[in-house]
Homo-oligomer: A and B are copies of this chain.
Amino acid sequence: MSKKWVYLFKEGNASQKYLLGGKGANLCEMTNIGLPVPPGLTVTTEACTEFYEQGKKLTDEIINQIEANLSILEEQTGKKFGDIDNPLLVSVRSGAAFSMPGMMDTILNLGLNDKTVEGMANKTGNKRFAYDSYRRFIQMFGDVVLEIPKVKFDNALETAKEEKGYNFDTELTAEDLISLVDEFKTIYKEETKTEFPQEPENQLLMAVEAVFRSWNNQRAITYRNLYDIPHNLGTAVNVQSMVFGNMGDTSGTGVAFTRNPSTGEKNVFGEFLINAQGEDVVAGIRTPLPIDKLNEVMPEIYNQFIEAAHTLEQHYKDMQDIEFTIEEGKLYFLQTRNGKRTADAALRAAVEMVDEGLITKKEAVMRVDPKSLDQLLHPKFDQADLEKSVPIAKGLPASPGAATGKIYFTADEAVAAVQRGEDTILVRKETSPEDIEGMNKAKGILTSRGGMTSHAAVVARGMGKCCVAGCESINVNESSKIMTVKGETYTEGDYISLDGSTGSVYKGKIKTVEANISGNFSKLMEWADEFRVLGIRTNADTPKDSEVAVKFGAEGIGLCRTEHMFFEESRIFSVRKMIIADSVEQREKALAEILPMQKNDFKGIFKVMGIRPVTIRLLDPPLHEFIPHDEEDIIDLAKDMNVSVTKLKDTINGLQEFNPMLGHRGCRLAISYPEIARMQTKAIIEAAIEVSREENINIIPEIMVPLVGKKEELSILRKLIIEVAEETKKEFGSDLQYLVGTMIEIPRACVTADEVAEYADFFSFGTNDLTQMTFGYSRDDAGKFLEDYKDAGILEQDPFQTIDQVGVGKLVETAVKLGRGAKDHLHLGVCGEHGGDPASIEFFHKTGLDYVSCSPFRVPVARLAAAQAAVKN
């Protein structure tokens, strides 16, 4: 028996997505559940594969099956291909298993030729319409089947209009169009050296081949590479008899959603036009009417449509996006698919569908894109106001949300402006830890340098503050307090607006709308928690951040960066004294001043977190980050500290590094200056003991050593930490428990994780640094070539946003295997920026980590993504 290459719509169903494509399967499904669908047939994806196997040729068997099914279609419609009185006209559309831009889209009115166009004119009584359809068909066919440049046809059309003095296509008369058809056929012949095919069956076979060929055009291949769609799936071809919504006042066309795609409200939402074709809706020449008006003009059709919409939603168990046409009082469905929706709508629909009993909680959890939650948690621009605004530049969407305010170029000036009651945007080339206060006070942050994990991006996300980073087309001059964009200059006090979710920068003010978290949100989050396996912690350095994160559902702190506490104005002086100390004694004296401050910081965090685990990382950044570098600031500091400018400069010079990222930082500091690690350990242990007593709980602090590459580093520091901790406990008469672990962020630590595990109670993967070193990319400099790399198809995504599973991921897997091999109860987490990225979270789930940790505002994203990862795997 020969293979079935062609299916009539009534022969297939929705489960045959891979064989019939998504569109074809849905047309079959609608046909079979009894909805009125213009009859048609689908040439299978297997026929596409066969087409390629035969050297891009349709086999006789496929051609025969197409023709045989075409005969059935003629019977079903009572029309005939090439019949002058009652011609069968069809649309031809591609349809793969996955929606895939780049392939050939649609040819309408196939079947028209010099004779049937007359039949169509007679049948519709509208010669103009018939010839307009014909010239469009020639153009579409020429363009997509034979790759004749569209512009050739457009030029002919424009010339015709100019000659007649017309402004709009609609002014063209039937006669104009008849001669235009002739011209189009001439163009066709000039370009292809053949006559425009008059035989409808030829037209059809040529169109089918064109669809199959388009499967392997460059755009489609690139798209599949980008989205990891296998190249051997092939596309199906849908051939459907045409229906016309423009056959008078009992005809029409429209689109509708079964629920409101903006709000999720359960109410059919859509619009229609009487006496119109789909493209009229798109062209925007006439204004469509809201769908309920249909009740007034065609109540019967309306009821029929509403009922069918309900049927479709119940049938697909999801909000549907439906295309329909009414031809002379008869309703037809041309397409149904799951509707695109805003985050608000996705959330509301998912939760309400569970309440309606339509879907399960598990299904609801899978219905909301975790990334879209950002829209719910941050301010947005007022849509109307936004539409009036023009973006002046685009940077990286570093931290979501919308902000508007006056620009200031230094943190101090931004803070002063906020104190005057102004809304401000802090604009910097790049931010540094000295800018924290200004960042905290500003509404939004804009930098011209740095990537998704630059200082500005990381800190802003931690604060839940809007940030556009690495906006290279803006030239920031901090000293003269101006920025220039495309030749235009903005000075201090000028208004701009930022969209941190898209990276767009706008001139002037745009109204913002505050975030509004509904009850549906917490319901969905609870359901997510039921399914997820991964724990969710947060990266938080202050009691305030910790509180926000707990509110969002964080189960602990995975990364508390102690250095952020060093920058507060009240303590930076002591920190600097420590750094320029000449001897261990001097350094210890300065550290003794810092100790009570750090201890209080930790107490504040412990109080918020209670018995939730808190992982505190020892000092990580290179010391020069704490010292000013401007001449003026250095002179001030020297005066303040009572040292000579020369000595201070010598110290600063001595601290300078060619590649600070690979320099004297992390645990290397603790090895060189063990007194710093001792002070921090003491502060942590004392804080934990005191809060445990005050609150009558058992806090178990987790002390984390950063940047370990050799087991010896950890063994030495573990010993030091335990020594200090035990001394402190003895002093306090406490039996506090604590853990000592390490960041895994150096490639060497990954490949020797079995050795490192010997001295670690836990690992926390620092995937930011691990990505930097595994790729050899500086996160602050990669902006210079990442765009070139995306353009060249080398990188599909920024590896600092979504973990590179093939390379960095392999090192993570190696470390997990070696680490757990050496110590099977080893607790594993991740605290890099990837901890808040859904695709990365799925990878971490599969890799068997115990938890992910992310910035507070990403906690809900992580909860949902973790749940989806668990359901999927």
Give chain B nearest CB distance to A785 CB in angstroms. 5
Decide: A662 and B794 in contact? CB cutoff 8 A: no
User: Which stretch in A214-222, A533-541, A804-812 binds the other chain?
Assistant: A804-812
Decide: B659 and A808 in contact? CB cutoff 8 A: no
Decide: A747 and B713 in contact? CB cutoff 8 A: no
- A671-B789, A672-B788, A712-B792 known; A662+B664 contact, CB < 8 A: no
A668 to B810, CA, bound (A): 23
Decide: B746 and A775 in contact? CB cutoff 8 A: yes
A661 to B659, CA, bound (A): 7
Tell me if A769 is interfacial: C-beta within 8 Å of chain B.
yes
A789 to B662, CA, bound (A): 15
Tell me if A784 is interfacial: C-beta within 8 Å of chain B.
yes
Give chain B nearest CB distance to A589 CB in angstroms. 21
Tell me if A467 is interfacial: C-beta within 8 Å of chain B.
no
A788 to B814, CA, bound (A): 29
Give chain B nearest CB distance to A457 CB in angstroms. 14
Of B659, B707, B769, the contact of A660 (CB 8 Å cutoff): B659
- A747-B773, A748-B804, A752-B807 known; A663+B794 contact, CB < 8 A: no
A38 to B823, CA, bound (A): 56
Tell me if A709 is interfacial: C-beta within 8 Å of chain B.
yes
Cβ < 8 Å to B, chain A residues 737-757: 745-748, 751-752, 755
Instruction: Write out, one digit per residue, whether chain A residues 801-828 have a CB within 8 A of any chain B CB (1) or not (0).
Output: 0001011101100100000000000000
Contacts of A780 in B (CB 8 A): 657-659
Instruction: Write out, one digit per residue, whether chain A residues 324-335 have a CB within 8 A of any chain B CB (1) or not (0).
Output: 000000000000
Tell me if A716 is interfacial: C-beta within 8 Å of chain B.
yes
Decide: A781 and B707 in contact? CB cutoff 8 A: no
Of B668, B775, B793, B810, the contact of A709 (CB 8 Å cutoff): B775
A794 to B659, CA, bound (A): 22
Decide: B784 and A663 in contact? CB cutoff 8 A: yes
Decide: B778 and A769 in contact? CB cutoff 8 A: no
Contacts of A713 in B (CB 8 A): 794
A657 to B755, CA, bound (A): 35
Give chain B nearest CB distance to A759 CB in angstroms. 13
A777 to B661, CA, bound (A): 8
Contacts of A777 in B (CB 8 A): 662
A777 to B660, CA, bound (A): 9
Give chain B nearest CB distance to A678 CB in angstroms. 15
Tell me if A139 is interfacial: C-beta within 8 Å of chain B.
no
A771 to B810, CA, bound (A): 19
Contacts of A795 in B (CB 8 A): 710, 712
Decide: B710 and A778 in contact? CB cutoff 8 A: no
Contacts of A774 in B (CB 8 A): 709, 746-748, 751, 773
A810 to B752, CA, bound (A): 9
Tell me if A776 is interfacial: C-beta within 8 Å of chain B.
yes
Tell me if A94 is interfacial: C-beta within 8 Å of chain B.
no
Decide: B657 and A794 in contact? CB cutoff 8 A: no
Contacts of A769 in B (CB 8 A): 776
A436 to B751, CA, bound (A): 38
Contacts of A658 in B (CB 8 A): 660-661, 778, 780-781
Decide: B794 and A775 in contact? CB cutoff 8 A: no
Give chain B nearest CB distance to A718 CB in angstroms. 13
Decide: A776 and B716 in contact? CB cutoff 8 A: no
Interface centre among A713, A777, A808 (most CB of B within 10 A): A777
Instruction: Write out, one digit per residue, whether chain A residues 543-566 have a CB within 8 A of any chain B CB (1) or not (0).
Output: 000000000000000000000000
Interface centre among A748, A752, A773 (most CB of B within 10 A): A748
Contacts of A811 in B (CB 8 A): 747, 751
Instruction: Write out, one digit per residue, whether chain A residues 649-663 have a CB within 8 A of any chain B CB (1) or not (0).
Output: 000000001111111
A330 to B333, CA, bound (A): 121
A662 to B453, CA, bound (A): 15
Tell me if A772 is interfacial: C-beta within 8 Å of chain B.
yes
- A707-B776, A709-B776, A776-B769 known; A784+B664 contact, CB < 8 A: yes
Decide: B792 and A659 in contact? CB cutoff 8 A: no
Interface centre among A663, A782, A793, A806 (most CB of B within 10 A): A663
Decide: B710 and A794 in contact? CB cutoff 8 A: yes
Across the interface, name the chain B residue whose C-beta is closest to A658: B780
Contacts of A707 in B (CB 8 A): 776
Cβ < 8 Å to B, chain A residues 257-293: none
Of B755, B778, B788, B810, the contact of A662 (CB 8 Å cutoff): B778
Contacts of A784 in B (CB 8 A): 657, 663-664, 672
A672 to B783, CA, bound (A): 12
Instruction: Write out, one digit per residue, whether chain A residues 708-722 have a CB within 8 A of any chain B CB (1) or not (0).
Output: 011011001000000
Q: A751-B814, A752-B807 are in contact. List 17 more A-B contacts (CB 8 A).
A: A657-B778, A658-B781, A659-B660, A660-B781, A661-B778, A663-B778, A668-B788, A671-B789, A671-B792, A672-B785, A716-B792, A747-B773, A748-B804, A751-B774, A752-B810, A755-B806, A769-B776
Could you jot down 24 A-B contacts, CB within 8 Å? Answer: A657-B780, A657-B781, A658-B660, A658-B661, A658-B781, A659-B660, A659-B661, A659-B778, A661-B776, A662-B772, A662-B773, A662-B776, A663-B782, A664-B784, A668-B785, A671-B788, A672-B785, A672-B788, A747-B807, A748-B808, A751-B774, A751-B811, A752-B807, A769-B776
Chain A interface (Cβ within 8 Å of chain B)? 657-664, 668, 671-672, 707, 709-710, 712-713, 716, 745-748, 751-752, 755, 769, 772-778, 780-782, 784-785, 788-789, 792-795, 804, 806-808, 810-811, 814
Q: Give the 4 A-B CB pairs with smallest separation, nearest first.
A: A662-B778, A659-B778, A748-B807, A663-B781
